[in-house]
Amino acid sequence: MKNSYQIAVLPGDGIGPEILDAAVKVLDRVAELTGVSFRYVYGRIGGCAIDEDGTPLPDETLRIAKESDAVLLGAVGGPKWDQNPGHLRPETGLLGIRKGLGLFANLRPATMHPSLVEASSLKPEVVAGVDLIVVRELTGGIYFGEKKRYTVDGREVAEDQLIYNEAEIERIMRVSFEIARKRNKRLCSVDKANVLESSRLWRSVAERVANDYPDVELTHMLVDACAMQLVRAPKQFDVIVTENMFGDILSDEAAMLTGSIGMLASASLGEGSFGLYEPVHGSAPDIAGKGVANPLATILSVALMLRHSLAMDQAADAVERAVWAVLAAGHRTADIAADKSRAIGTEQMTAYVLEELAKQLEN
């Protein structure tokens, strides 16, 4: 473990600056109590970059990210840029940084903490004990395929290509099998092999890679069936691996099992230890600047960063225990509060986590 790390901080749009402020405070507390130092280098991405730099992903931002040990990202997007052409949409910056940094594996854990069972819209017996992870392929598929708009017989036509090659599928499968091997040794590969040729290749590569992991049980499920089973019987899943678009949708659905999308962290990893860490929720422009955003998904993303990129497992465990302890004590932001009148804001929730983190790291 090194004694000093450079972290690229990309607040983005909407509530992004607020929740990344909470993340930096958590890292500062970790630094204070462990002797490790963090240097923060800030960059623009998304809508704010479009406004300031004329592009959703400035070259300077990509340079900063490549020179850092890890990247913390807030959120991008908002109605201000919804009518922009594709190359000037905030989400294009998000896709671009993933591609530019070679981040092909997106990890999205969904864990139901006992104290949040009542926050879920599903029955307690359905969600109690849920502990799964969605592994999403991040740099291939329809999001990165060629896109066309043209006219045929006077009618406008749109076309998006969904392309995967064998190597792209194999590497995400190996990441998923390794994760499953460290958990409960069950991997569910999700596709649409009854319709899509890309899914048939996906399934065949999964079967081949499975030969190298005889200790892990591999099953297959069609994406529509998986979407249904996630809300019907989510505890059947341990690790889910799927392609880019399916993973985008299923991981957001899995987030709601935990009571709020504001609770779901994510890690986007490439080769080696480098990674980009962000909450799964969006920029939430309707609450931006009001101080009510839930910072916990971002704080849990910090824990993922400490574990996967910085080799600080003890600090990562302490951050996660601090979050669970704060929830167990009954503290809630509005998105997870049964009684909205007692909900606390972003700063107060962060303060409780910092207080509990000090206890965890001093023990």
Q: Which of 248, 277, 335, 352 is catalytic?
A: 248
% of the chain residues with pLDDT over 90: 84
25 carries an active-site annotation: no
Which of 15-19, 172-176, 234-238, 337-341 has the least mean pLDDT? 337-341
pLDDT band at 252 (very low <50, low <70, confident <90, very high): confident
Please name which of 330, 300, 318, 325 lies closest in space to residue 362, comparing C-alpha atoms: 318
Neighbours of 129 (CB within 10 A): 12
Residue type, 314: Q
The CA-based angle 199-205-210, given to 5 degrees, is 125
Q: Which of 59, 224, 286, 313 is catalytic?
A: 224
191 carries an active-site annotation: no
Q: Which of 21, 53, 131, 252 is catalytic?
A: 252
Q: Which of 192, 213, 238, 335 is catalytic?
A: 192
The Cα 363–Cα 357 span in angstroms is 10
160 carries an active-site annotation: no
192 carries an active-site annotation: yes
Q: Residues with Cβ < 8 Å from 197, sequence gap 6 or more?
A: none
| Mean pLDDT along residues 182-211 | 98
The Cα 201–Cα 206 span in angstroms is 9
Pick the CATH number of 105-262 from 3.40.462.10, 3.40.718.10, 3.30.1300.10, 3.40.50.300: 3.40.718.10
Pick the CATH number of 1-103+270-363 from 2.70.98.20, 3.40.50.300, 3.40.50.2000, 3.40.718.10: 3.40.718.10
Which helix H or strand E contains 210, and what residues bound it? helix 197-210
The Cα 65–Cα 97 span in angstroms is 9
Residues constituting the chain: 363
Under 8 Å between Cβ of 247 and 134: yes
pLDDT at residue 256 greater than cutoff 80 = no
The Cα 74–Cα 88 span in angstroms is 19
The Cα 322–Cα 354 span in angstroms is 8
Please name which of 2, 72, 7 lies closest in space to residue 267, comparing C-alpha atoms: 72
User: Is 312 buried (19+), middle (13-18) or exposed (0-12) by CB count in 10 A?
Assistant: buried
pLDDT tens-digit map of 209-242:
999 999 999 999 999 999 999 999 999 999 999 9
Q: What is the pLDDT of residue 305?
A: 97
Q: In what order do the strands lie in the sheet with 239-242?
A: 37-42, 4-12, 70-75, 275-279, 265-269, 105-111, 131-137, 239-242, 186-191, 217-222
Residue type, 201: L
The Cα 309–Cα 161 span in angstroms is 33
| Mean pLDDT along residues 243-252 | 94
Same fold, 1-103+270-363 and 105-262: yes
- The full set of domain ranges for the chain reads 1-103+270-363, 105-262
Q: What is the pLDDT of residue 1?
A: 64
Under 8 Å between Cβ of 278 and 107: no
Judged by DSSP in three states, 278 sits in strand
Q: Which of 5, 25, 143, 238 is catalytic?
A: 143
28 carries an active-site annotation: no
